[in-house]
Structure 1
Amino acid sequence: MSLLDEVKNELAAIADESSLAKQAQISTMLRFGGGIQRVKGVPVVASQFTSKTAAQWLQNALRTVWQYDAKLQPGSTTLPNGSIIEFFTVFVQSNGRNLALQSGLLDQRGHENPGISPVHMQGNIAQVKSAWRGAFLAKGRLSDPGKSSFMEIVCPSAEAVNDLILAARRLGITVKPRRVNSSVRVVLHDPDVIERMLILMGAERTAREWSGKRVEGESRGKANRLANFDDANMRRSAKAAVEASQKVRKAFEILGDNIPENLRAAGQLRLDHGDASLEELGRLANPPITKDAIAGRIRRLLQLATKVEKQRAAEAEKD
């Protein structure tokens, strides 16, 4: 079971909400899950979910809160890549128009309301939380721990986006609108804000689990990055040591016996310990010196060899 399924299961198990809060959740789930359809001219309220527990919650709530004979119908669809997606449709055919009016899908003039019912948008904080819970149960997504953090809800309209933004603001949370191809949605990216929203909706247990796994994943990712960084540094150091040894060997060939003893000793240490770091070469020197000192001596050795090589080339041109 994915963590998203666990979140939705926890939200669907909440049972101690007030009647108004349950009505807000019902109304928002109906709007975000589908809304009104017309079958042979008859209004049918139907909403589709990928979470079976969410669909079962809505079916039971429609029966107990508003006494509608709600049906639940399972189905599936096959994607182009061959994977199968299961879905669950909750629908009310008898008295569909009355339900649409009662839930705010239609206003009193019979016009469809594309957003969240104003009754719940202007209601108490419990209703606002329930509205967000219903929207998330219907079309919410949550990133897996250890990946780039996000929570988003795909919305049925731009009006629904604005309503969710305003509802979140009443809860003290800022969310952003986002358009992906033809769909509109609201999204949160800050991990702490996501955890807070999960708790406000009622998913306290899975919020802590998501946060804990996220931190664990970030720590593991940081450790991997550091390990990779160390490996890269080691490879660069080894490559630099090989190149330095080649340069020292050429310097010895150019200078022959005309090398100051301290520079010769430093160069010989480089040749004798090709894989050693400068710090290690400094400790091997007699007497021991700092890595800056050993690096300086090797640098002066190479500079001297370059100078002598240029002088010889200039003299050869004169001859």
Structure 2
Amino acid sequence: MSFSGDVKDELSRQISKGRHCQIAEIAAIISLCGRIQISEEERYCIKIHTENVAVARKYFTLIKKTFNINTEISIRRNAYLKKSRSYTITVRKHEDAIRILQAVKLIDENRDVGENLSLVSNMIIQNACCRRAFIRGAFLATGSISDPEKFYHFEIVCMTRAKAEQLQGIINSFQIDSKIVQRKKYFIVYIKEGAQIVEILNVMEAHISLMKLENVRILKEMRNSVNRKVNCETANINKTVSAAVKQIEDIRYIRDTIGLSGLSEGLEEIAEIRLEHPEATLKELGALLTPQVGKSGVNHRLRKLSNLADKLRDNTRRISND
């Protein structure tokens, strides 16, 4: 099962204790993946669709527990994808459908279908616990979360911008920075940052999945930290080796042109020690000198040798050109 499937499986097993929270979760489910059908005789019917068996079980249980209403479940197998199944939970009885729709505020007193999308006046989501339940229901309905081993991405798909903006407002009320993007005809409420996804899992009370994600984040951060240190050390080693190779080339050029014996005592000593110890660091070279010299002193002498070698090369080129 995917990480997204694991999260939904965990959430599908949670039933809020408060009836008001159960109603908020049902409201999100019907709003995002439900259909309200009205016959010519003005008889109402609710159908909720999902491709996740755990989620279908949650819908069935939630409606039964909250309203003591029995629903019908139908299963359809995709003819092209043999392992793919879709589940439809139907509230067929008119009186039951009306009772649910009135409770979740999806119809008004005239039985006209509509949503109160205001965060301020919508009674369904006034309490923080109900907003948590609403987000949980929305995620179960049309949400997904990527495998954190690959990248961080959390999203919930909405049919209209108004629904997306309402959901964004509910999520952001928990100090989470969700954003909206349009993808074809849908509006996606999404979160990209790993720490924010951890927080939204906490809001939805998916604590087991939260711990799994946190473990992945810790391991990834440790790997990244180690890689940064290794890369830094590798770069330093390469820099040191390149500098040593250049120093040795310069010293050999001086030796082969004017010889080392004509150099000052300090330069001759460092030149000979560098040739004898090509892999030594500046600190190690300084310790081999008599008297010992610090890194800056060694570097100063080697720089003098490099400048001398450059001058000798320039003179050689000038003479050859003449």
TM beyond 0.5? yes
Task: Work out the CA distance in 2 between the residues paired with 1:155 and 1:187.
Answer: 11
Matched, 1:277 2:281: yes
* 1:76-97: CA deviation from partner (whole Å, max 9, x where unpaired): 5879xxxx87453223162476
Counterpart amino acid of residue 269 in structure 1:
I
Checking the alignment, whether the CA contact within 8 Å between 1:31 and 1:115 is kept in structure 2 is: no
Task: Work out the CA distance in 2 between the residues paired with 1:33 and 1:26.
Answer: 10
Matched, 1:91 2:89: yes
Checking the alignment, whether the CA contact within 8 Å between 1:241 and 1:275 is kept in structure 2 is: yes
Count how many residue pairs are aligned between Structure 1 and Structure 2: 314
Task: Work out the CA distance in 2 between the residues paired with 1:287 and 1:39.
Answer: 102
Deviation at 1:58, TM superposition (A): 0.5
SS of the residue corresponding to residue 144 of structure 1 reads coil
Structure 1 spans left out of the alignment, 5+ residues: none
Shift of the 32–317 alpha-carbon distance from structure 1 to 2, 3 Å rule, reads closer
Partner of 2:27 in structure 1?
A: 27
Task: Work out the CA distance in 2 between the residues paired with 1:14 and 1:290.
Answer: 67
Structural RMSD (CA): 3.6
Deviation at 1:291, TM superposition (A): 2.1
Counterpart amino acid of residue 28 in structure 1:
A
Partner of 1:73 in structure 2?
A: 75
Structure 2 spans left out of the alignment, 5+ residues: none
Identity %: 24
Partner of 1:3 in structure 2?
A: 3
> Matches of residues 1-319 of structure 1 in structure 2 within 5 Å?
1-36=1-36, 45-66=46-67, 67-73=69-75, 75-76=77-78, 86-92=84-90, 94-95=92-93, 98=98, 101-102=101-102, 103-107=104-108, 108-113=110-115, 119=122, 121-145=124-148, 148-256=151-259, 257-311=261-315
Which stretch shows the higher mean deviation, 222-231 or 89-98? 89-98
Task: Work out the CA distance in 2 between the residues paired with 1:78 and 1:228.
Answer: 49
Which stretch shows the higher mean deviation, 106-115 or 87-96? 106-115
SS of the residue corresponding to residue 20 of structure 1 reads helix
Task: Work out the CA distance in 2 between the residues paired with 1:30 and 1:151.
Answer: 21
Counterpart amino acid of residue 279 in structure 2:
D
Checking the alignment, whether the CA contact within 8 Å between 1:36 and 1:105 is kept in structure 2 is: no
TM-score in terms of structure 2 length? 0.80
Which stretch shows the higher mean deviation, 110-119 or 44-53? 110-119
Task: Work out the CA distance in 2 between the residues paired with 1:276 and 1:33.
Answer: 69
Shift of the 223–314 alpha-carbon distance from structure 1 to 2, 3 Å rule, reads closer
